Amino acid sequence: MNFRRLLAGSLGATVVLAMLATPVAAQTSVNTELIGGLNTDLLIVAIPITVLVEAILIYTVVRYRADNVEQAQPTQENRRLEITWTVATAIILLFVGFASFQVLGVTAVGGVTAATNPDAPASSTSFEYDGAYGPTVNETDAVEIEIVAVKYYWTYNYQTEDGTVTGTSAAGDALKIPSDRPVYFYITSTDWLHAFHAPDLGLKQDAFPGQYNTIKTTTYEEGSYQLYCAEYCGVGHSGMLGQIDVVSDQEFQEYLDEQEPEAEA
């Protein structure tokens, strides 16, 4: 077998696989856009490595099969080869680390903290817990929603000028959020550990009692998305489901106007 032909064929297959790996579907949110982009970058790096290793393996198996085993020779020291694969590995790891940092360091994926949002004004929440970091002063159109996990349902608190509008998955209410606007979720729990997870929107954050975890998103596609609890929380865990409805800005405002807000104390 001609090794050069095998290598050329492997590289050709790599190009085809890389093209097929490129996502063509519209992204539902900035979170899925960032996460999907990172996955694609890592896949493009992994495919050539996989193809090269498999090509060498196939060549070795065929070249030194049982009826040709006498041609196999012990491996000799080759400093140039060792330096090459060491440098190549370092370059690949640097690329992976840099690409991952570029995504994990973004508030939409890594979460909102005092360090990432130091100038944020105080957030309107039900409890005086740390960890609720609201929009910056420039995000005048941002929406703030408090998510409270309870055994075994979700409560959604929307802060409005007239008070707090509340919905709950226990009553079949969907979590409403507007598209194309920044949305901040302040996530906490009243009992023990839960996890807020909407995979189709690229959202996932733990819900701890006694503190808030803040995550941020901007959605692009209107529609309904499944909400799960992603942390085993007891006998009712499998039923701790909800629904997120991404609606237009007008429909979101109409929903809030139709509700009876609880006046702030």
DSSP 54-109: HHHHHHHHHHT-GGGGGG--PPPP-HHHHHHHHHHHHHHHHHHHHHHHHHHTSHHH
Q: Is 232 exposed, middle or buried (0-12, 13-18, 19+ CB in 10 A)?
A: exposed
For residue 113, pLDDT over 90 is answered with: no
For residue 10, pLDDT over 70 is answered with: no
For residue 146, pLDDT over 50 is answered with: yes
Summarize pLDDT for 206-242 with one digit per residue, the tens. Answer: 999 999 998 888 999 899 999 999 999 889 999 999 9
> What integer pLDDT is reported at residue 160 of this predicted model?
79
Mean pLDDT of 23-33: 72
Confidence of residue 119 (pLDDT cuts 50, 70, 90): low
Please state, in angstroms and rounded to a whole number, the distance separating the CA atoms of residues 208 and 148: 10
> What integer pLDDT is reported at residue 32 of this predicted model?
81
Task: Name, of 67-81, 93-107, 234-248, the range with top average pLDDT.
Answer: 234-248
Q: Percent of the chain, pLDDT > 90?
A: 26
> What integer pLDDT is reported at residue 189 of this predicted model?
94
- More confident of the two residues 249 and 24: 249
In degrees and rounded to multiples of 5, residue 99 shows phi and psi of -65, -40
Q: How many C-beta atoms surround the C-beta of residue 16 within 10 A?
A: 11
For residue 1, pLDDT over 50 is answered with: no
Beta bridge partners of 239: none
Tell me the one-letter amino acid at 3: F
Lowest mean pLDDT among 30-34, 197-201, 227-231: 30-34
CA-based torsion, 19, 25, 27, 31: positive or negative: negative
Q: Is 20 exposed, middle or buried (0-12, 13-18, 19+ CB in 10 A)?
A: exposed
Give the CATH fold of the 116-258 domain: Immunoglobulin-like (2.60.40)
Confidence of residue 86 (pLDDT cuts 50, 70, 90): confident
> What integer pLDDT is reported at residue 162 of this predicted model?
76
Mean pLDDT of 118-142: 78
Confidence of residue 78 (pLDDT cuts 50, 70, 90): confident
Mean pLDDT of 6-26: 53
Q: Are 123 and 136 in contact (CB under 8 A)?
A: no
Q: What is the pTM of this model?
A: 0.74
